[in-house]
Amino acid sequence: MAREGAAAVGAGGVIQKYSDIIIAAVIITIVLMMIIPLPTMLLDLLLCVNITMSIVIIMITIYNQEALDLSVFPSLLLITTLFRLALNISSTRLILLEGYAGEVITAFGNFVVGGNAVVGFIMFVILVAINFIVITKGAERVSEVAARFTLDAMPGKQMAIDADLNQGTITDAEAAIRRKKIQREADFYGAMDGASKFVKGDSIASIVITIINIAGGFVIGMLMRNMSALQAIQTYTLLTVGDGLVGQIPALMISTATGIIVTRAASDGGNLGTDVVSQMFRNARVFFIASSVLILLALVPGLPGIPFACLSIITALIGYSLRQQEKAPTEEAAAAEKEAKQKQEATKPENIVSLLQVDPMELEIGYSLIPLVDTGQGGDLLERIVMIRRQCALELGLVVPTIRIRDNIQIKPNAYIIKLKGIEIAKGELLLDHYLAMNSGTVFEEVAGIETTEPAFGLPALWITEAQREQAELNGYTVVDAVSVLATHLTEVIKAHADEILGRKETQDLIENLKKTNSTLVDEVMPELVNVGEIQKVLANLLRERISIRDMATIFEVLADYGRATKDTDILTEYVRHAMARQITQQNLQNNVIPCVTLDPAIENRIAGAVQRTDRGSYVSLDPDTMQRLLTSLNTELSKLTNMGYQPIVLTSPAVRPYFRKLVERSIQGIIVLSHAEIEQSVELQILGVVKI
């Protein structure tokens, strides 16, 4: 037995290895069958093979769980149809030439229809009508509708996969598998829509071949074989009908298999028999009602009472059996039900808790912006978001959490909303078929467009059409497409709120990443000197002023040096900034110098004297009049820098820097406050003004 099993496996392996050669040889052989005459014995064998193939195929479709389990079916349908037509041609040749086409056709012509040509012809016509009008037409329509619905649903399915991938619910490999399955479904139903025409054409060809065989046989029998008209009709009609029946029975089974495979798309799993039994025999009341109707029919005078009475009893017994199953479940079923109820009760609070979960970042889009996400329509927003996260990791050292994308029909079709922890922090509107043109200061001739405001930086801009794009660029405008506008806005929002995005979990992840390469340093700092919360505050202070935290090793070195001296996270942040002087200098260098304005020593002394220290931190307490005069003078001096195209940088002493920053950050957006300790000595300072009161 072991040897026989090994031999079977070996044979299967050989077939699998040379399957391409075997299929090619089979197709070529089928085509040659239409040209080369076949002996009757070989024809009998091939007709039996045809019937066997049809039985195997219909059994496979019955045991399929979904249509894609037999995705090769459209090609298989073409091959079987071609094989059946080749057999028809071979049998027709033998019938007309020799008046005999083998034992199989003769048996179907004599035994199956009782040797009666008229009965045989009627049976053949009925089979063709059933195959062509009922099964083939229905399967063709189902294939057509399934193909159209599958193609229409592809964008939504693709977007759902991309959303799950972007959210982190599935991996890249799982997303690729699901995308491939969607593509295979579309290809399968599209192929089935065309392949069902083969069965339809086969039915028509069978009718034509039958008529030609009968007419041709009648002429050959009378003129060439000297038969009487009745004898010729009897002989050739029986052979033709036998040939037709031999071909139509497999054709009918293949058509039925076609119908089964395209109507199995809505199955919940399991084979056809399991689904039929589980779905039809689940309600006892249905069978009791059917039993009552049957008993009434049995009592109607003139109708055969015994068959209806027997069927009534059978349906009543089925209903009784189902009712007993419903009333008296087995102990295992009862235990399973009890366990399911316990699980349900246990999970109810979890369901409520899940509603409290807030996504770290969300992007809500109107329905007109869905093409930006749909890769099937050329949308690449998901790829842009991946690049944004990479950019933030490189520039800020921050791992941005997954950004959840939702469509929201409650907002304007062209609008989008950016949310942080469930709260709206930014919004904008896009025109997908337009480009955003911004005046970069070099425009010498304006173009017409829809006036708007660039959402990321608040600059005046125009929405222009694609036809105006080239002219606008020649006129000096900076022109970008809609998805770039959204990507830029999202990037700036992330950078502006990086300190809020960084939580304790993200901080712990950064620490674990550092621990892989420098565990000694991490162990020295944590938890003896500082904890995760204090490290998170230091990192958030740096990110608030857009200082990259990518160099975690340097940050931990400073915390190790000064963590024993102070627990004030603001002071620790200043020490870290001093250690990162080279990075801060390079970040603010413009044309190899740092253009800035400085504070008058009198202002620095007044700010230092107004610092109030409490258990919750330090703050500056200045009277309103002094504060107003300080802001007025500061705005005046900073306008000199911005008018010259420089960043608004203020240079202070190290002791005053953090307090001055807190004092003015709410009033002057984008201000950069540096101390002398944060600038390398080799860099030239270009002082363009002094802030005085």
User: Which two three-digit tokens encode residue 544?
Assistant: 């608030």
Tell me: do 391 and 448 sit in the same domain.
yes
- Give the residue with greater pLDDT, 415 vs 169: 415
Q: Are residues 302 and 451 in the same domain?
A: no
Are 295 and 369 in a shared domain?
no
- Identify whether 115 is part of a domain: yes
Mean pLDDT of 639-664: 89
Q: Which residues contact residue 37 at a Cβ distance below 8 angstroms, ignoring those fewer than 6 apart?
A: 90, 93, 94, 97
- What whole-number distance in Å separates Cα of residue 201 and Cα of residue 389? 56
Respond yes or no on whether the N-terminal peptide bond of residue 527 is cis (omega within 30° of 0).
yes
In a domain, 673, yes or no: yes
Q: In what order do the strands lie in the sheet with 672-675?
A: 672-675, 649-652, 593-599, 684-691
CATH code: domain of residue 600: 3.40.50.12790
User: 0.75 exceeded by the pTM?
Assistant: no
Please list the alpha-helical segments (H only) found in 518-612: 519-525, 532-544, 552-562, 569-579, 581-588, 601-609
Asked whether residue 246 falls in the same domain as residue 383, the answer is no
Cross-strand partners of 450: 463
| CA dist 639 → 36, 313, 550, 646 (Å) | 96, 99, 32, 9
Residue 355 maps to a domain = no
Tell me: do 130 and 167 sit in the same domain. Answer: yes
Residues contacting 46, CB < 8 A, separation 6+: 33, 38, 87, 90
Q: Is the pLDDT of residue 3 over 80?
A: no
* pLDDT value of position 486: 92
SS3 for 149-213, per residue?
HHHHHHHHHHHHHHHHHHHCCCCHHHHHHHHHHHHHHHHHHHHHHHHHHHHHHHHHHHHHHHHHH
- CA proximity to 110, closest of 101, 120, 95, 100: 120
Tell me the residue length of the chain: 693
| Choice between 603 and 257, residue whose per-residue pLDDT is larger | 603
Same domain? For 30 and 156 the reply is: yes
Candidate ranges 253-257, 321-325, 395-399; pick with highest mean pLDDT = 395-399
Same-domain check for residues 298 and 260: no
pLDDT of residue 493: 93
Whether residue 518 is contained in a domain is answered as no
3-state secondary structure of 652: strand
Amino acid at residue number 355: L
pLDDT at 270 over 70: no
Domain boundary among the residues 499, 522, 544 is at 499
Which pairs count as long-range contacts for 299-305, CB under 8 Å and 24+ apart, including other chains?
none
Mean pLDDT of 341-366: 69
> What residues contact 327, with CB distance under 8 A and at least 6 apart?
none
What is the CB neighbour count within 10 angstroms for residue 88? Answer: 21
548 domain residue, yes or no: no
- Model confidence at 7: pLDDT above 50: no
Higher pLDDT, 76 or 672: 672
Measured on CA atoms in the order 387, 389, 391, 394, is the torsion positive or negative?
A: negative
Residue with tokens 């491939």: 180
What's the one-letter identity of residue 553?
A: A
Q: Look up residue 353 and give its two tokens.
A: 């808790």
β-bridge partners, 435:
464, 481
| The last residue of a domain, from among 481, 499, 517 | 499
Whether pLDDT at 190 is above 60: yes
| Lowest mean pLDDT segment, chosen from 97-101, 297-301, 610-614 | 97-101
CB 253 within 8 A of CB 58: yes
- Quickly tell me which residue has 């892989």 as its tokens: 516
CB 580 within 8 A of CB 546: no
Confidence label for 420 from pLDDT (cuts 50, 70 and 90): very high
Note whether 409 and 479 are same-domain residues: yes
Measured CA to CA, the distance from residue 95 to residue 214 in angstroms comes to 10
Other Cβ atoms less than 10 A from the Cβ of 461: the count is 24
> What is the average per-residue pLDDT within 95-122?
67
The three-state DSSP-derived secondary structure of 592-610 is CEEEEEEECHHHHHHHHHC
Report in angstroms the alpha-carbon separations of 495 from 76, 565, 583: 57, 31, 17
Q: What is the pLDDT of residues 36-45, one digit of tens each?
A: 777 878 878 8
Are 115 and 168 part of one and the same domain? yes
Res. 614: pLDDT tops 80: no
pLDDT for position 1: 46
Mean pLDDT of 255-281: 63
Residues 306 and 256 occupy one common structural domain: no
Range of the domain at 384: 361-499
pLDDT in tens, 486-526: 999 999 999 999 999 999 999 999 999 999 999 999 999 98
Pair 148, 93 in one domain: yes
Q: Does 540 have pLDDT greater than 90?
A: yes
Question: How many domains are contained in the chain?
Answer: 4
Structure tokens at 474: 């020649």
Copy the structure tokens of residue 111: 């035994």
pLDDT of the residue at 578: 92
For residue 495, the domain's CATH number is: 3.40.30.60
Alpha-carbon distance values, 334 to 60, 323, 338, 522, 596 (Å): 36, 16, 6, 55, 80
In the DSSP assignment, the letter for residue 590 is B
402 and 295 together in one domain: no
In this prediction, residue 596 has a pLDDT band, given cuts at 50, 70 and 90, of very high
Q: Has residue 153 been placed in a domain?
A: yes
Residue 646 located in a structural domain: yes
> Is position 579 within any domain?
no
What is the structure's pLDDT at 644?
A: 86
pLDDT tens profile 316-326: 888 778 777 76
Given 465, 499, 533, the domain boundary residue is 499
CB 407 within 8 A of CB 367: yes
Share the mean pLDDT of the chain.
79
Measure the CA–CA gap between 689 and 693, rounded to whole angstroms. Answer: 13
Can you read off the two tokens belonging to residue 109? Answer: 């012509």
